[in-house]
Amino acid sequence: MHAGSQTNAWAINPSDFSSLMAVLGKIKGLRFEGFETGFRNVERQFSDPAGARADIAKTGLQFFGVHIFLADKYDPQTSIPPIDLIAKVAEGGARLGAQRVIVSGVPVTLQGKIDTGALRRKIAGINAAGSYCRKKKLGFCYHNHSAEFMAGGAEIQELVQQTNAGLVDFLIDAGHAYQAHGDVPTFFAQHASRIVGLHLRDSKQGEEVPLGQGEVDYQALAEAIHSAGWTGWVLAEEERLSGAKLGESAVGPAREYIRRVFGV
């Protein structure tokens, strides 16, 4: 396994690449192997990537992936980011040394039922995005929120089963899945070959807290991982709804928890 961190725990100025580089230094100092970041933190480097790519390489961190999360403006047909944005991020991310593009999307489960037409279009959109990224020699994965694991996880099961295994992987946000009462260890055991990473987050009485200080017990998931001989990434995901950026004060304990529970 590999241990990584999302950069969401820190305040980053997208107009100042040095602010991202400072965060990468902190992630390296916490002894993570790699990082994931939102596309807005690097898109200004897409047009002239050489220096930025060299700076990232000097950190010794692997660039696990560049994530497209949109508060709105998802493609209403595919329920994921527009393909032209995915293409832009794939091309720019490849130039910066990213290993994959990650997308979040709009759930197609409403009031406990899947909109079958929307699901069909979403699967087609995900496959098309995966195909584009493959042409750019990048991986592509879908990242869930809580909704995909609601109603017994019907939507996430459909996405895994009906997307092209040669083009599409999954970054499972285990914290969001647990919030939806998903059976994450069982889901992982069923689909480990499609999962390239896991976001780990924790909460207490509905409020996010540093990993290991809340109500989510990841021991069963860790056991499922070791049973499968899985070699993917576990990533600390620290993201407060309040917008608070707690940095090392939250990610430091998360790193220790990952080492203790997952052995990496």
Digit-coded pLDDT (tens) for 146-204: 999 998 999 999 999 999 999 999 999 999 999 999 999 999 999 999 999 999 999 99
Task: State the average pLDDT over residues 108-117.
Answer: 91
Query: Which amino acid is it at 158?
Result: E
pLDDT confidence tier of residue 239, bands split at 50, 70 and 90: confident
pLDDT band at 253 (very low <50, low <70, confident <90, very high): very high
Both tokens of 181, joined, read 């009462």
Ranges 70-74, 139-143, 171-175: which has the least confidence? 70-74
Beta bridge partners of 262: none
Predicted confidence band of residue 112 (pLDDT cuts 50, 70, 90): confident
Neighbours of 192 (CB within 10 A): 16
Q: Which domains does the chain show, CATH number per domain?
A: 2-262 (3.20.20.150)
Contact yes or no for 222/179 (Cβ under 8 A):
no
CB atoms within 10 A of CB 166: 10
User: Which band of pLDDT confidence, cut at 50, 70 and 90, is reported for residue 242?
Assistant: confident
Whether residue 168 contacts residue 141, with contact meaning beta carbons closer than 8 Å, is answered with yes
Residues 6+ positions from 58 with CB-CB distance below 8 Å: none
Q: Which residues contact 93 (CB under 8 A, 6 or more apart)?
A: 39, 42, 46, 65, 66, 101, 138
CB contact burial 17-56 (16+ within 10 A = b; e otherwise): beebeebbebbbebebbbbbbbbebbbebbeebeebbebb
| Mean pLDDT in residue range 235-253 | 92
Q: Which residues contact 43 (CB under 8 A, 6 or more apart)?
A: 14, 88, 89, 92
Task: Return the SS3 of 120.
Answer: helix
Banded pLDDT at 71 (limits 50, 70, 90): confident
pLDDT band of 141, cuts 50, 70, 90: very high
- Nearest-CA neighbor of 35 among 263, 255, 259? 255
Q: What is the mean pLDDT of the chain?
A: 96
Give the pLDDT score at 129: 98
Distance CA 183, CA 66 (A): 27
Strands 233-236 and 2-6: parallel
| pLDDT confidence of residue 110 | 85
